[in-house]
Amino acid sequence: MGLPRHRSPDRYCWIALGSEGRLEQTLSTDQDNGLIFEIPTAGRRSGARASTALRARVNEALDACGFPLCKGGVMASNPQWCLSLEEWRGTFANWIQRGDGQTLLNASIFFDFRRSTARPLCATPCGTGSTATWCQYRMFLRLMVINALGNRPPLGVVRDFVTSSDGNTLDLKLNGTTPFVDAARVMALYCRQR
């Protein structure tokens, strides 16, 4: 899905994040998206920053099509997730340096992205940037592995499934696909930096 070209003087790229970025949508998928824009040579940010109403309309249109709004606000209509390519790279590098619980959660959403527009502008915001060293990056990957290992498969002692506290629900996304997705993400990030 793209934004109309004539509405913004800046070049931009709509990105799908998380399960949407992995093309792993299920019946309960919500929206996770953002926007990367190019700052014009004059340094003005008016186009992408001023397109808040347009971005909100796109998110609302997706909601009307059956993709609910993200309860956590991870959508392009949120100015926090409408950044220049340099700002995205700086954000990712900051997360890698910090490695706390919130940044690990962010990584599980934002590091799984794909372009939803055909603009060549946004090859990858996921570069570690010059501020993250290989040592910091390896430590961050180690923390991602530890975090992933905390999510246990829903298997009981005697070939039964562990369900939620109500005894009736089994979250296949959290306990079924998430361990595989976490492992694939760590391996992909590791191989990318070797």
Residue 35 · residue 12 · CB < 8 Å: yes
**Could you report the per-residue pLDDT of 113-142, keeping only the tens digit for each?**
888 875 555 555 555 444 457 778 889 999
Domain span at residue 187 reads: 5-193
User: What's the mean pLDDT in 179-183?
Assistant: 86
| pLDDT in the model for residue 60 | 95
Taking the C-alpha atoms of residue 121 and residue 115, their distance in angstroms, rounded to an integer, is 10
Q: What proportion of the chain, given as a percentage, has pLDDT over 70? A: 65
Residues 6+ apart with CB under 8 A from 123: none
Residue 31 CA to residue 29 CA, distance in Å, equals 7
CA–CA gap between residue 11 and residue 6 (Å, rounded): 10
| Residue 49: closest CA among 14, 84, 74, 75 | 84
* Residues paired with 33 in a beta bridge: 16
Cα 48 to Cα 44: distance, rounded to the nearest angstrom = 10
Task: Out of 26-40, 126-140, 172-186, pick the least confident.
Answer: 126-140
d(CA 170, CA 168): 7
Residue that is written with structure tokens 């808040």 in the block: 52
Q: List pLDDT tens digits, range 36-81.
A: 887 765 555 555 555 778 889 999 999 999 889 999 999 999 999 9
Model confidence at 10, pLDDT cuts 50, 70, 90, reads low
User: Encoding tokens for residue 113?
Assistant: 């992205």
Split into its structural domains, the chain has a count of: 1
Integer distance in angstroms from the first to the last C-alpha of the chain? 33
Instruction: Give the pLDDT confidence score for residue 4 in this predicted structure.
Output: 46
145 SS3 class: helix
The single residue listed with the structure tokens 């994040």 is 17
